[in-house]
Amino acid sequence: MNLPLINAGPNHGKKMTHTDRMLIQGPQDNFPYHCRFERIGRKLPQHSLSTRELMANTRHHPDIQLERLTGIHQRYICSEGEDSFTLAVGAARDCLEKSAYHASDMEMLINCSITKFKGGLSNRVEPALAHAIKNAIGATQAISFDIGNACAGMMTGVFIMSEFIRRGEITCGMVVSGESISNLSINAAKQIRFIFSKQLASLTVGDAGVAVILERAPTNQGIAVAGFTTLAQHSRLCLGYPSTLGPGAVMFTQARTIHKVAIEDSPPLIKEALDASGLDFGDIDYVIPHQTSTRAIEKGTREISERLGIFPKNVVVTVDEFGNTASTTHFVALYKYLSEGRFKKGDNIMLISFASGLEVGVIIFTMDQLMESYGPAN
C-alpha cells in the first residue's frame, strides 16, 4: 500500500503572513474517487456533572461565575469502568448499528484521542489503543494505528483516511476517539484560586466518544475540501503535564491569547478552503466550530465573519450541554443535530478546528445520505 504524504503545515516556527497556506485536500488533486461520511456514532458516560456542582467542590472556593462566563450548564464525566477505551468502543458500536457495513468490512481504523486510557487512568502507548478497539468491535482485518493532533485529532483522522479512500487504496474505514479528560477538571478544582488562572479552561471539559465511518462516494458527493495548517509559534499557549495532586493530568492554557491569535490568523486560511470548495462563507448552512464556550464561539464567529465580509446561516453551539470534549467536540455536535433532524439534504456543513499547536483545520462537506438513519423518525 502506498502511503499518502501528510505534513504538519508550512508555518513551523515563524510568524503568520499572507503567503502562508493550508495543506488542502480537494478537487484540485484530481484523484479518482470521492469520500463521504457514511455513519456517525456517539457514546456518552452514564453520569453528568453540573457546573454548579463542580464549582461547589473547588478547594479554595474562588469567586468565579463559571456558568455565566462560559455558558456551560453541565458536562458528562467518566465514572468507574469508563475510560477512553470504553467510550471509543461504545461509539464505534453505535456507529456500526446504524451502518450498512459490518465491523469485518472495515479496512482501516484510526484512533485519534488525546487520552488513551484503558483500565482507568492508565495511559496506553504500545500496542496502539486502535489495535484494542478494532479487536473489541470485531474489525480484526483492519489496518489500525493511533494519531494525535490535540483537539483537531478526529478531523485530522478524517483527513488522513479520506486521502486513502480518494486515492483508491481502501473503500471504507472508521475514525474513532474516546476522550476521558474530566480528570483535568477534578485536578484544577483542587488548585484554582482566581478567574485569571491558566487552569480555568480545565473546568470546561467533558468526556465523550465518537466514531465515523468513511466510504467511497459517488462523483461530486461528500467531503468537498479538507485543509490544515500548523502555526507552531503558538505551540506553548496550552500545555499539559502529569498531575502531582492526584491521578490524571493538569493543563495550563492562555485561553484569551489562543482566541486572539486564532481570530487574527484564521480568516485567510478559512477563505482559502472556501475558495477551493467554490463556496462563500454565506453559502455555509451550518458552521460547527470547536466547542470551547458560548461567549468565545459567538465572539469568534462575529469577528471572523466581519473579516470575511459575510456571515454563515447557522452556527452550532452544544458546549452548554456537553462542555469541551476535546477531539470529539465537532462530531458530538454533529450527532446531536442529526438526531434532532436539524439538517436537510444539500446543506453545506463546515467544521472548524482551533486546536493547541496552534492547529487550524477546516472540513467542508455536503449533507447527503448520512442523515437517513437519524432524526426523530428513527
> What's the pLDDT score for residue 110?
98
- What is d(CA 65, CA 331) in angstroms, rounded to the nearest whole number? 28
Q: What is the pLDDT of residues 251-282, one digit of tens each?
A: 988 888 888 888 888 899 999 999 999 999 99
Q: How far is residue 338's CA from residue 222's CA, in Å, rounded to a whole number?
A: 16
Domain ranges of the chain: 23-367
The CATH code for residues 23-367 is 3.40.47.10
Q: pLDDT in tens for each of the 378 residues of the chain?
A: 333 333 333 333 344 443 457 888 888 788 889 999 999 999 999 999 999 999 999 988 888 999 999 999 999 999 999 999 999 999 999 999 999 999 999 999 999 999 999 987 778 888 999 999 999 999 999 999 999 999 999 999 999 999 999 999 999 999 999 999 999 999 998 999 988 889 899 999 999 999 999 999 987 789 999 999 988 888 888 888 888 877 888 898 888 888 888 888 889 999 999 999 999 999 999 999 999 999 999 999 999 999 999 999 999 999 999 999 999 999 999 999 999 999 999 999 999 998 888 889 999 999 999 988 888 766
Q: What is the pTM of this model?
A: 0.91
Q: What local confidence, expressed as pLDDT, does residue 91 receive?
A: 98
* Contact between residue 353 and residue 331 where contact means Cβ atoms under 8 Å apart: no
**pLDDT value of residue 115:** 93
**Interior/surface letters 114-136, b for 16+ CB within 10 angstroms, e for the rest:** bbbbbeebebbeeebbbbbbbeb
**In whole angstroms, what is the distance from residue 131 CA to residue 318 CA?**
31
Beta partners for 151? 149
At 117 the three-state DSSP class reads strand
Return contacts of 198-201, CB within 8 angstroms, 24+ apart. Answer: 198/252, 198/253, 198/254, 199/250, 199/251, 199/252, 199/253, 200/64, 200/253, 200/255, 201/238, 201/251, 201/253, 201/255, 201/292, 201/324
